[in-house]
Amino acid sequence: MNKISVYLLAVLFVSGCEKNFESVVEPADYNYQVIMVEPVDPFIYVPNNSTLLKIKFNSTEFIKNVTLNIFNPTEEKLFDSPVKLTLIDNNIYTFVLRMKDTDISGTYIVKYYVTDLSDKTTEAAVQKFDYNNGSANTAPVISEVLIEPDSIVVTDTTFIRITAKITDEQGLKDIELAYFIVYRPDSSTSGNQTILNDNGIINETSWDEVAGDGIFSRMIFVDQNNTKGTYRFEFRARDRGRLLSNIYSYNVLIQ
């Protein structure tokens, strides 16, 4: 769930025979051990997105079911009752978490519970994550575009380097997509989005010199088959919250 914010701050495990866990809440001789609660990348609210919560045990032989409760920053439960996790391969239980834009931003706490075959339920692990509902999210900004050359007399195949400077108040990692659409001299367009990259790769399509510097680049070419006249390039970027940047227009003359 991009642009979802889940990062693992702490994981506290309950197990009578695991000595490396950060805290033992209720020492006992259990027939299972929690051996992993998987962290998830930070996330911000994105419509229809989700993230996967995952807990792994050394064995499920004596486990009847695994549930969880999630508490929001004001310590209210996210769900009315504990949610049952799904057992998949390798003794792993999972839950697909979908947050809403109405859920408040801040630190959430996930508490995992195990019910054994004797119907005894015990808290097994605690996980914290941060969530941003996107209310403070701002759109990316395209502040500068350079197309070299931007006036071409075509006698053979000519390569054109394109760069766009893009910023985002939430950081460059919040930029999900940068692209441009070309409009022909008669203003018609295919509508195809040509992707710009900030990956530090130089090849026949990408001519980006430095990765992660906010300068998104592309290499294209024109030849004698291109219609002569003034082409309009419209640049745009989108962040992981699905907000679109300003449109930056740039004209290129082909003769």
Parts of the chain belonging to CATH 2.60.40.1220:
11-132
Query: Do the bridges between strand 11-13 and strand 158-167 make them parallel or antiparallel, or are there none, so unpaired?
Result: unpaired
Q: Is the pLDDT of residue 242 over 90?
A: no
| Cα angle for residues 98, 103, 108 (degrees, 5° grid) | 80
- Does pLDDT of 207 surpass 70? yes
pLDDT at 219 over 80: yes
For residue 113, which of 77, 80, 75, 85 has the smallest C-alpha distance?
A: 85
pLDDT at 48: 84
**Per-residue pLDDT tens for 148-181?**
999 999 989 999 999 999 999 988 988 999 999 9
**Distance set, CA 126 to CA 38, 64, 132 (Å):** 12, 19, 20
Token digits of residue 160: 């054109």
The fold of 141-254 is Immunoglobulin-like (2.60.40)
Global model pTM greater than 0.85: no
Q: What radius of gyration do the chain's Cα atoms show?
A: 26
Give the integer Cα–Cα distance in Å for 137 and 244: 11
The predicted pLDDT at position 159 comes to 93
Give the H/E segment covering residue 35: strand 34-37
Residue 166 has a pLDDT of: 98
How far apart CA 182 and CA 192 sit, in angstroms, is: 8
Sign of CA dihedral 10, 13, 19, 23: positive
* Interval 40-60 mean pLDDT: 88
At position 129, the amino acid (one-letter code) is: F
> Angle at the Cα of 147 (from 141 to 153), degrees rounded to 5?
155
Residue 2 in this model has a pLDDT that exceeds 80: no
Report domain 11-132's class: mainly beta
Q: What is the pLDDT of residues 121-139, one digit of tens each?
A: 999 999 999 998 988 889 9
Looking at the chain, which residues constitute the CATH 2.60.40.3880 domain(s)? 141-254
State the pLDDT at residue 205. 79
